[in-house]
């Protein structure tokens, strides 16, 4: 371990209470992203259609 980090305290219960759910959600959506993608797909399709009708990405400039 780097010497400059030896004085830092170990993780406490409140930090674990915060980090563990975030890690679980991140792992879940990393392995099984379908629920998240289904949630945003309708909005993304509208954005894609709008950009395509403007002439693609070049139409944004």
Q: How many structural domains compose the chain? A: 1
Alpha helices in the chain (DSSP H): 13-31, 34-53
**pLDDT at residue 57 in the model:** 66
Q: Which residue has the tokens 């371990």?
A: 1
**pLDDT at residue 51 in the model:** 83
Best CA proximity match to 29, nearest among 40, 14, 18: 40
Is residue 43 assigned to a domain?
yes
pLDDT tens by residue, 3-61: 888 888 899 999 999 999 999 999 999 999 999 999 999 999 999 888 888 776 665 55
Is residue 17 assigned to a domain?
no
Is residue 14 assigned to a domain?
no
Is residue 58 assigned to a domain?
yes
**pLDDT at residue 25 in the model:** 95
**pLDDT at residue 43 in the model:** 93
- Of 1 and 32, more confident: 32
pTM: 0.57
SS3 (DSSP) at 3: helix
């Amino acid at each position: 371990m780097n010497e400059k980090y030896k004085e830092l305290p170990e993780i406490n219960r409140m930090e674990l209470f915060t980090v563990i759910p975030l890690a679980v959600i991140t792992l879940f959506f990393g392995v099984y992203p379908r629920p998240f993608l289904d949630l945003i797909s309708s909005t993304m399709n509208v954005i894609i259609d709008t950009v395509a009708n403007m002439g693609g990405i070049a139409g944004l400039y």
